Structure 1
Amino acid sequence: MNTVLDINGLEVAYGKVEALRGLDLTVGEREIVALLGNNGAGKSTTVSAVSGVVRSRAGSVTAFGEDITASTPWSIVERGIVHVPEGRRIFSRLTVHENLQLGGYTVRDGASVDRRIAQVYDLFPRMAERRAQQGGTLSGGEQQMLAIGRAMVAGPRLIMLDEPSMGLAPLVVAQVMDAIVSINRAGTSVLLIEQNARAALKIAHRGYVIESGRVTVAGSAAGLRADPQVVEAYLGA
């Protein structure tokens, strides 16, 4: 399996607070990899470092065989890596369709943008129904679908999703997870940041557990589901 993302010895600090302490992580081609951990463990910092939003003080990030550690956020998007941040961060005063169009900001071919928006409407029929509706009037689940759809318009080879199930009802969580599986089966690799370990490990191929900025457990999703330490801490006894 080809490696899409390779993180080696990554260290990130906010002032004197060490957020990542020598983190190692890989994502393979066509994989869903779950990154699990409690609040403050370093999950969001990891994807923010990959996407260029925060800078590391040590270590490296390699994507598709190219060192992107010091790359700008927009050049990372152009390389095919898209980050869907926690909290969705859609443009609340723009319509669904306008939000999706902005997802193609770095795409020079307008026909590709139109085609990808059509694919998003196929993936999320509710977005097609709401295409003229302002983003801020959507439900939480609909906003999450829009945030994922907007990312897909950029044509990512790797999509990084930060807490996509946060605040959603169980039925909506299942719909979002099903959409992630569909995206992955179409060829996009996924790095999934989740506190909902049960939902994440149900769809992931592999997973990592991080605590205080370090990987403490790693393995197949099935192995993590059976690991007593993971069960006790994240899945319930």
Structure 2
Amino acid sequence: MLEIDGIDVSYGGVQALHGMSLTVADGEVVALLGNNGAGKTSTLSAVSGLVRPTGGRIVFDGHDITRASPPEIVGLGLVHVPEGRRIFSTLTVQENLQMGGYLVRDPAETRRRIDRVYGLLPRLRERRDQQGGTLSGGEQQMLAVGRAIVAGPRLLMLDEPSMGLAPLVVTAVMELIAEINADGTSVLLVEQNAKAALKIATRGYVVENGRCVLDAPAGQLADDSRVVEAYLGGV
């Protein structure tokens, strides 16, 4: 479904990615693990068209998207939920969800997708007329994911969805991601909470200094002493 083949990304004179390569197959949840500054966010930004690779190639569902614009990429069904939620704080929950369907030509389809989000997240339905900025942090994260669902992703990329959330809310977010995947959407997940990510992932990559240094099934990574020591708190 997604093939990232040897991409390089630079910001000014600083190279963030050095021949980054990874794949996501149809139906998978793939976790990207690594310390801050390892290149995880740069990878998602390159895939979604927010930054342009200086080398390598990105292919999604047979389409070369290396030079595609963000709207073109979303139109193909590849949707990115960036770090920090970035909802529209002055718009209501309903209006935020409607913004997710800005590329959907059929208003009835947008309504159907919003109803699906409300089915997955009844709390958002209760707050549909509430401004996004007045929601709790966990509710805002759910809204950001819900808005992405309205865009109709075949592959959903999530950047640090559990950041700053209480443990119970983290569990709810991970359960939501697993449910979205079970409904047929593939997921590429960047997550500092490696334990939580590996519980729902099919496979995982460890990223260091802008390249993947380890690729294995999630259960194998969870049992790898190097991964345990570096990312799972040594337990």
User: For this structure pair, what is the TM-score category when the shorter chain's length is used for normalisation?
Assistant: over 0.9
Q: Deviations over 1:172-205 (max 9, x none)?
A: 0000000000100000000000011000000000
Is the aligned partner of 1:177 residue 2:174?
Answer: yes
Q: Which residue of 2 aligns with 1:128?
A: 125
Which letter does structure 2 place at the counterpart of 1:187? G
Could you tell me which of 49, 53, 58 is aligned with 1:56?
Answer: 53
Alpha-carbon offset, residue 216 of structure 1: 1.1
Q: Deviations over 1:107-137 (max 9, x none)?
A: 0011110001000001111100000000000
Secondary structure of the corresponding residue to residue 94 of structure 1: coil
Secondary structure of the corresponding residue to residue 233 of structure 1: helix
Could you tell me which of 34, 37, 50 is aligned with 2:31?
Answer: 34
Q: Deviations over 1:37-67 (max 9, x none)?
A: 1110010000000000000000000000111
Is the aligned partner of 1:99 residue 2:96?
Answer: yes
Which letter does structure 2 place at the counterpart of 1:211? E
Secondary structure of the corresponding residue to residue 187 of structure 1: coil
Q: Which residue of 1 aligns with 2:159?
A: 162
**Residues paired across the two proteins, number:** 234
TM-score, L = length of structure 1: 0.98
Q: Which residue of 2 aligns with 1:220?
A: 217
Equivalents in 1 of 2:147, 2:201: separation in Å? 22
Q: Which residue of 1 aligns with 2:191?
A: 194
Which structure 1 residue ranges, 5 or more long, are not aligned? none
Secondary structure of the corresponding residue to residue 217 of structure 1: strand
Identity %: 66
Equivalents in 2 of 1:180, 1:131: separation in Å? 21
Equivalents in 1 of 2:221, 2:140: separation in Å? 30
Equivalents in 1 of 2:52, 2:70: separation in Å? 11
Is the aligned partner of 1:150 residue 2:147?
Answer: yes
Equivalents in 2 of 1:53, 1:167: separation in Å? 24
Alpha-carbon offset, residue 217 of structure 1: 1.0
Secondary structure of the corresponding residue to residue 115 of structure 2: helix
Equivalents in 2 of 1:138, 1:55: separation in Å? 34
Which structure 2 residue ranges, 5 or more long, are not aligned? none
Could you tell me which of 2, 6, 10 is aligned with 1:5?
Answer: 2
Q: Which residue of 1 aligns with 2:204?
A: 207
Equivalents in 1 of 2:3, 2:38: separation in Å? 19
Equivalents in 1 of 2:37, 2:104: separation in Å? 34
Could you tell me which of 76, 80, 100 is aligned with 2:77?
Answer: 80
Which letter does structure 2 place at the counterpart of 1:218? D
Which letter does structure 1 place at the counterpart of 2:145? I
Equivalents in 2 of 1:147, 1:110: separation in Å? 20
Equivalents in 2 of 1:118, 1:39: separation in Å? 36
Equivalents in 2 of 1:65, 1:130: separation in Å? 40
Equivalents in 2 of 1:181, 1:111: separation in Å? 27
